[in-house]
Amino acid sequence: MVYANDDWRLSDKLTVNLGLRYNPMTNPSIEGGPGGPRQITDYPQGAFVVVDHAFASNPSLKNWDPRVGFAFDPLASHKMSIRGGFGVFHNPVGPRIILPNYVNNPPYIFANEVVTPNGAPKFPTPYSSGGTPAINVANGIDYLLDNEPSISQWNVNVQRELMASTSITIGYVGSRGTNLLKQVDVNPVTPSVVNGVTVYGVPRGAAAGLISNPRQNPLYAGLTYNQSNTWSNYHSLQTSFNRRFSGGVQSQVSYTLSKCSDLSSGSFGGEGSTPATNPYDIGYDEGPCYFDRTHNLRASGIVALPFGENPIVGGWELSTIVSAVSGRPFTPAIGFDQSGLQTGNQRPNLASGRNLDDVIVGTVTQWFDPTAFTLPAAGTLGTTVGRHSLRGPRYMNVDLSAIKNVRLQGTQLQFRLEAFNLLNRANFNLPNANIFTAAPNGGGTYSATAGRITSALPARQLQVAMKVNF
């Protein structure tokens, strides 16, 4: 790793910071099994071939991370500051992604593999047929990965002191992720055109479900690989009021108005939690991020009760945390493979005359109206309902604690009485988003549990505790 950073004090009022980081990693070497580890290097038509590294070339060699920042003091009273910054940050693809691709996928895991006496796959022909069976790869990593995930972040904020120990901050914070990982089936079902409509399967007739068209390479089933081909956007207005502990009171209130959109939300390098619904058009899944919350209000405070040093009534503190957050987005889903693409999270169409603004009913037994949606024609994808286009119940919560501090020689005892979800508000989880149940001839019927909420976060909890500080 090479890193350079410096601060320039251009004047008494302005300071500028510049930095550059270059942190390449080695292309991980892969070892395992007689004959070596194997990977499909030219999917979907290629076979598993021996490889000695995780990637064909090292994608981390492009990981240049510049950053710049400034701080400006515009007033002679020094009671205001304006700050801003921009930076690029790469997220290297590490063992968490690479290792499962080799140890949990073919050719090491097959139902019909031929194994040696010690239980290892027999190389160079581990299959009973001597060839490659119709196998499935799940959550693999693209051997031809060319770029690693990165995020560009920027912000500008103004902070103003209102009075002693009290300040407010107003700022804009944004980011854009690029080359994020998303799982894509690189051996998708081959589309056909029927009466000018693209279809991926045909009904089974009297049986429920569809018969999918052949895959691009019929020798393989789905080959789902993480590819660095998606993005994310985040924009927010962030405000806060802060009072440092003074006069026995400390408090903070923050509010964020934000919007986050992407093609697939995940927890590592942008890794998508589900494969692309349409492998031929990953943009089909554009929508709010899984963690998008339009409004987010948090308030907290501590009050030292003014009872002096009296050993009985003194030493008491009250503290509280209040939260109010918009509901989580979720995707209205068909509930089964209606297109024949054999991908999850397939979406319905809106019924004629309906719009998403009037879909929410808002009750526990029916959070949304399932009859506002219709089933797409057998073998096709829905076209009028987006990913994460509905919102679940909002979250509101109040926690409160009463604390008694007792000073002893060289020791402090702290007694705590705490209430979580003090108001005992029911904060419900998301409803059942699957709308239909599969029926014969490529049809479906409305599910009796569509839109129903069946769980919630914990009810009020009381806790008594004692802590010894020494």
**Minimal CA–CA distance to 17: which of 80, 84, 81, 79?**
84
Name residue, tokens 């998606």: 230
**Minimal CA–CA distance to 144: which of 49, 217, 223, 41?**
41
Same domain, 311 and 185: no
CB count within 10 Å of CB 398 equals 18
User: Residue 75 burial by CB count (10 A; 0-12/13-18/19+): exposed, middle or buried?
Assistant: exposed
Q: What letter would DSSP give residue 100?
A: H
Same domain, 289 and 373: no
Same domain, 68 and 217: yes
DSSP string of 302-352, one letter each residue? EEE-S-TT-TTT-SEEEEEEEEEEPPPEE--B-SS-SSSS--S----EEPT
What's the domain range around 130?
Answer: 1-72+88-154+180-234+258-293
**Per-residue pLDDT tens for 443-465?**
999 999 999 999 999 999 999 99
Where among 293, 314, 341 does a domain terminate? Answer: 293
Any domain includes 416: yes
Q: What is the pLDDT of residue 380?
A: 97
Helices (H) and strands (E) in the chain, counts: 1, 27
Any domain includes 169: no
Same domain, 16 and 134: yes
Decide: helix, strand or coil at residue 12: coil
Same domain, 343 and 264: no
Decide: helix, strand or coil at residue 408: strand
Asked if 270 and 177 count as a contact pair (C-beta separation under 8 A), the reply is yes
Name residue, tokens 């990982």: 181
One pLDDT digit (tens) per residue for the chain, 470 residues:
899 999 999 999 999 999 999 989 999 887 755 556 778 888 898 888 888 888 999 999 999 999 999 999 999 999 999 999 999 999 988 887 887 777 667 766 654 454 455 545 454 445 444 444 456 787 788 889 999 999 999 999 999 999 889 999 999 999 999 999 999 999 999 999 999 999 999 999 899 999 999 999 988 888 998 999 999 999 999 999 999 998 889 999 999 999 999 998 865 544 556 789 999 999 999 999 999 999 999 999 999 988 777 767 788 999 999 999 999 999 999 999 999 999 988 999 999 999 998 999 999 999 999 999 999 999 999 999 999 999 999 999 999 999 998 887 778 888 999 999 999 999 999 999 999 999 999 999 999 999 999 999 999 999 999 988 88
Sign of CA dihedral 126, 128, 134, 135: negative
Hey, what are 349's tokens?
């169409």
Q: What letter represents residue 372's amino acid?
A: A
Contacts of 285 (CB under 8 A, 6+ apart): 263, 264, 276, 277, 278, 345, 387
Q: 49 to each of 16, 41, 53, 143, 208, how far by Cα in Å? A: 52, 7, 12, 11, 39
Same domain, 288 and 301: no
Same domain, 113 and 196: yes
Same domain, 289 and 304: no
Any domain includes 411: yes
**Per-residue pLDDT tens for 87-127?**
999 998 888 788 777 766 776 665 445 445 554 545 444 54
Same domain, 349 and 279: no
Any domain includes 201: yes
Any domain includes 453: yes
Asked if 318 and 400 count as a contact pair (C-beta separation under 8 A), the reply is yes
Q: What letter represents residue 443's amino acid?
A: G
Q: What is the pTM of this model?
A: 0.89
**Per-residue pLDDT tens for 405-434?**
888 777 888 899 999 999 999 999 999 999
Any domain includes 83: no
Q: What letter would DSSP give residue 197?
A: E
Where among 250, 269, 293 does a domain terminate? Answer: 293
Where among 275, 293, 311 does a domain terminate? Answer: 293
Same domain, 306 and 360: yes
Number of domains in the chain: 2
What do you get for the CA distance between the two ends of the chain, in Å? 42
Same domain, 60 and 101: yes
Same domain, 338 and 274: no
